[in-house]
Structure 1
Amino acid sequence: MSIMPMDYGRPSRPLYSSLLRNWGLTLLVFGLFYFVYSGTAWVWFRPVVHKPLINKYAAEYRFDPLWVMAIIKVESGFAPWAHSHRGALGLMQLLPSTARELAPEIGLNPFHDQDLTNPEINIHLGVYYLSKLQSLFPNDDIAVLAAWNAGPGVTQQWLRGKPALDFEDILYAETRHFVRQVDRTYGWLKIIQGWKHLFGIAHGRG
């Protein structure tokens, strides 16, 4: 009596294709769920009325507009009237005291605290401030974001002469969370931008 050897090779093509299909569908559903849950879908697929201003000042100060957009998304969710418990105002959540120092440097005189609810003034001041922080921490986006949230003085202490700041170097939990949120949002926005180019969606339509 002969016993046929069992075949432990690759699964049959129909089964193999079915597994791939189901796995791909699972990943797609999970990705879409996270995409919507994270709030990034809201940013891109609704009309972003401030996008021209973001592009304008990002270009002037040589930033990736998607990076500026990620900061605004995390700071205010694109609400010009947003305000924090610390008194920060507007799209980029600038403190009035900081804005009062920056305003004369960009020729904004006179300046009133409520001007921070004006999207153009807020974005201009915010991106200009980012450029000043970048000059303090060149080629170190993590340090720039940490300084934006916690202040340049404490960020310099965290660096301790290191060439660049790591997430683990950020000792304030709130600041570390903020930097990670911006980093994740920026990553999603770059992916969406790639999808838009891939599928030929017209630039600037949302």
Structure 2
Amino acid sequence: MYKFFKRLIIFALIAVIAACAFKTPILKAIYPIGYIDEIDENSQRFNVDKYLVMGVISAESGFDHQAQSHKGAMGAMQVKEDTAEWCNEHFALNLDVSNLYNPSVNITVGCSYLEYLIDMFDGDAYVALAAYNAGLGNVKNWLKDKNYSSDGKTLDKIPFKETDEYVKKVLKRRDIYKKLYG
């Protein structure tokens, strides 16, 4: 019986050491990155944290540039055509926004819009992500409502469960990507 427990303890120690040694490669397999050139270029161009962009892409499409939502959002950052057209005009991007499945076009538009939202909400990524997901109009209404915002600038609570979960997911993934690839 003593030999059994001794072997069990040795096996457990080996398993712990192996898990620690392979933790990063395993996590990198679970949290892969793609489109790194597009992310680097556009996060710098639009002054958006590249790990936040990775978190958005991971949550929105799992880095699938062919992704399409039931609401008509397309590509890696799940951009809608009307948003792309607005960004193209507002930021003078000069892009063919009819091809939102092109990662370069999609990430350029997504980063430009994310910068716009972050700037609008004074650098508050939490509020900006809520607007990215639920829409700017909804977030502006929530900020006016004392049930959701005590100061009119930050959100104390997000009333849409899907949006609340989305924001938390993106921020968690941002932190994971920064830890793994930063």
TM-score (norm: length of structure 1):
0.69
Q: 1:131 to 1:138 in 2, by over 3 A?
A: same
> How many percent of aligned residue pairs carry the same amino acid?
31
User: 1:62 corresponds to which residue?
Assistant: 47
Which letter maps to 2:168? Answer: R
Q: What is the CA–CA distance in structure 2 between the aligned matches of 1:105 and 1:133, rounded to whole Å? A: 13
Note the residue ranges of structure 1 that are not aligned, 5 or more in a row.
Answer: 1-17, 195-206
Q: What is the CA–CA distance in structure 1 between the aligned matches of 2:128 and 2:112, rounded to whole Å? A: 13
Residue 144 (str. 1) matches residue 128 (str. 2): yes
Q: How do 1:38-77 and structure 2 match up within 5 A?
A: 41-44=29-32, 48-77=33-62
Deviation at 1:71, TM superposition (A): 0.4
Note the residue ranges of structure 2 that are not aligned, 5 or more in a row.
Answer: 1-8, 145-150
CA RMSD of aligned residues (A): 3.0
Which letter maps to 1:165? Answer: L
What is the DSSP-based 3-state SS (H/G/I as helix, E as strand, rest coil) of the residue aligned with 1:84?
Answer: coil
Residue 116 (str. 1) matches residue 100 (str. 2): yes
User: 1:8 corresponds to which residue?
Assistant: none
User: 1:100 corresponds to which residue?
Assistant: 85
TM-score (norm: length of structure 2):
0.78
How many equivalent pairs are there? 166
Q: What is the CA–CA distance in structure 1 between the aligned matches of 2:69 and 2:47, rounded to whole Å? A: 28
What is the DSSP-based 3-state SS (H/G/I as helix, E as strand, rest coil) of the residue aligned with 1:170?
Answer: coil
Deviation at 1:154, TM superposition (A): 1.2
**Quick check: which has more Rg, 1 or 2?**
1
Deviation at 1:108, TM superposition (A): 4.3
Q: 1:139 to 1:80 in 2, by over 3 A?
A: same
Deviation sequence 1:112-149 (CA, Å, 0-9, x none): 53x10111111111100011111210121110000000
